[in-house]
Amino acid sequence: MEIRNIAIIAHVDHGKTTLVDAMLRQAKALKKEEGERILDSFDLERERGITILAKNTAVVWDGVKVNIVDTPGHADFGGEVERALSLVDGVLLLVDAAEGPMPQTRFVLRKALEAGLKPIVVLNKVDKKEARPDEVLNLTFDLMVELGASEAQLDFPYLYAIGREGRAWRDEPREDLAELFQTILDHVPPPRWTEGPFQLLVANLDHSPYLGRVAVGKVARGRVRKGETVAILKEGNQALAKVAAVYTHQGLERVEVEESLPGDIVALAGVEGAEIGDTLASPEAPEPLPRLAVDEPTVALTLTPNTSPFAGREGKYVTGQKLKERLERELRTNVALQVLEVAPEVFELRGRGELHLAILLETMRREGYEFSVGQPRVLLKDGLEPYELLVVEAPKERFGAVMEALGTRRAEMVHMEGGERVRAEFVLPARALFGFRSLFLSLTGGEGILSHTFHGYGPEAGPIPTRTTGSAVAMEAGVATPYSLHRLQERVQFFIEPGTEVYVGMIVGEHVRENDLEVNVTTAKKLTNIRAAGSDENIRLIPPRKLSLEEALEFLAEDELLEVTPQSLRLRKQVLDPAKRKRLVGK
């Protein structure tokens, strides 16, 4: 059977996963009742509406098997993108016909061009009122030129599409995806492979409770059968393993086969000890393939066991040893992550961005882990700091405030388009974006759109005021009362509500001024000299601001920690005792 291997790449929310749904349905590999965004099976993916993990599926069209890899659009999950591109021979680049190329479009396209892959451009969502497909097509061509595409890559086929309706066409509108499938068959080359002893590069890992570790990759040479022995080639050493089962993809399922096809994307069960980047090869010819190259991390944070007065109340796994075991397990599949044990039970997590690390922390808390994390910080490289390309879009009347905020964060504008909504591109230090997303949404009344991707390294930009407010810190332990919160709410935007238990040193809100403020939120109103119940003032509280995990990380100052448990997110000072904190400040 002929094979085509293709990855679908795009900026976040340009419609990759929805288009894959339509392709599966029209190829009769997915039933209508199976729902939407079926490949986003990870709970956090469904909640956030983004793809985090690259996933494989396959359809048969006109007698040809088409392996489809759905990839993340967010640059923080670039490790997933790089692994996906090692499996395929062509890419389907989706671009929103209204928004045009965005920062993550640039990121994923650059990776595809560097891998020598020729794109098929799909101008999606052409039914939008503000769609401008021909202009966006030209912008995409210009972007490819800027990224150094070859002449062959620049001679790309393109189609117009409404992925949500399962329609794509080249010249005249159609009611199906037949032209898209035909374009894939015509323009994506069959996989390159050679006859000879078996060889495969491990691009992904899975686990079967019955068969053990499952290694996923594209067969680069030869074939492998169930029961055969393969060599696991690591950097500098080699081990042997017996293949318990060979699987190929069919729709959303893995189907067991007796023998792999050359060039196919397969899953081999039972290969204990295999890691991402290893080569599986015939013991008669143990020749390693080049390992996967992954971009270096740009952001780090420190993770430690929870040491607050509430430690151990809510978590199932609370010790440093349990955290270490979980992080070591994560390293097997998360190739863009680095973990260093900088001191006993103190771990430095290094990732591609705040979101990359926040997804790991959120996953761990849902699994029952409890821990504390410090303020994220950028990683320097040869004395240079990472810079980001930021694209913002905001209503014209609110854009001035955005410009002013970015100016204080040392952002340099490189492009701007006017109109009722202003769109502008900036280059700025990566650390300038810490805490900016919530400020941006506030400045634009929730109407702004913001996205960014790694731009490169540059000279250190000096001090950047990423936070202009202080913390309101509890000075007494107890339960927060409405009376206390009401007295303080003019000066403090609270993160807690009445009835919340607090401890000394816990951050209960944001002080409107730059300095920290010690507050007592546990005081109850004295019930003396009350003439009548009705004469007491009616307490009206401003609703508290509930922080997500990413927002809490952005809020952290250098001397603060985020306490993460399965049920709670609590901000706190590293030093809880106020007297000790004052002595440290004095030093």
pLDDT in tens, 144-183: 999 999 999 999 999 999 988 999 999 999 999 999 999 9
pLDDT band at residue 36, thresholds of 50, 70 and 90? very low
Per-domain boundaries in the chain: 3-187, 199-281, 385-458, 470-586
Q: Taking 90 as the threshold, does the pLDDT of residue 530 lie above it?
A: no
Q: Which residue has the higher pLDDT, 111 or 139?
A: 139
pLDDT of 554 reads 86
User: Model confidence over 416-427: pLDDT tens digits?
Assistant: 988 888 889 999
Q: For residue 75, what are its two tokens? A: 């640059």
The confidence score (pLDDT) of residue 527 equals 63
What is the DSSP secondary structure assignment for residue 528, as one 8-state letter? -
- Tens-digit pLDDT profile for residues 265-294: 998 998 888 888 889 999 998 999 888 777
pLDDT band with cut points at 50, 70 and 90 for residue 102: confident
Name the band, by pLDDT with cuts 50, 70 and 90, for residue 35. Answer: very low
Region 552-566 average pLDDT: 92
State the distance between the two ends of the chain, measured CA to CA, in whole angstroms.
Answer: 73
Distance of CA 83 to the CA centre of its chain: 15
User: What does the H/E/C string look like for 279-342?
Assistant: EEECCCCCCCCCCCCCCCCCEEEEEECCCCCCCCCCCCECCHHHHHHHHHHHHCCCCCCEEEEE
- Residues belonging to the binding site for GTP are 13-18, 124-127
Measured distance CA(360)–CA(337) in Å, rounded: 10
Cα gap 564→13, rounded to integer Å? 29
pLDDT tens digits for range 329-385:
888 777 778 999 999 999 999 988 787 888 899 999 999 999 999 999 999 999 899
CATH fold of the domain at 385-458: Alpha-Beta Plaits (3.30.70)
Average pLDDT over residues 494-522: 94
**What pLDDT score was predicted for residue 537?**
54
Q: Give percent of the chain with pLDDT exceeding 90.
A: 50
Q: Give the per-residue pLDDT at 37.
A: 39
Q: Which CATH superfamily is domain 199-281 in?
A: Translation factors (2.40.30.10)
Residue 72 confidence class, pLDDT cut points 50, 70, 90: low
Question: Distance between CA 549 and CA 547 in Å, rounded?
Answer: 6
**Which pLDDT belongs to residue 528?**
58
pLDDT-derived band at 253 (thresholds 50, 70, 90) equals confident
Give me the chain's average pLDDT, please.
86
Give the whole-angstrom CA distance, residue 249 versus residue 306: 43
Reported as a single tens digit per residue, the pLDDT across 197-218 is 999 998 888 777 777 788 889 9
199-281 shares its CATH topology with 470-586:
no
In angstroms, what CA-CA distances link 531 with 483, 509, 528, 536, 540? Answer: 18, 34, 9, 9, 21
CA dist 227 and 2 (Å) reads 25
The pLDDT of residue 313 is 92
569-573 and 506-511: which strand pairing?
antiparallel
Closest by CA to 296, choosing from 94, 169, 151, 456, is 456
What is the Cα Rg of the chain in Å? 27
Binding-site entries? 13-18, 124-127
Interval 398-412 mean pLDDT:
91
What is residue 38's predicted lDDT score, i.e. its pLDDT? 40
Which CATH topology does 3-187 take? Rossmann fold (3.40.50)
Which has the higher per-residue pLDDT, 363 or 14? 363
pLDDT tens-digit map of 301-333: 999 999 999 999 999 999 999 999 999 988 877
Environment class of 28 (CB within 10 Å of its CB; exposed 0-12, middle 13-18, buried 19+)? exposed
Q: Hey, what CATH topology would domain 470-586 get?
A: OB fold (Dihydrolipoamide Acetyltransferase, E2P) (2.40.50)
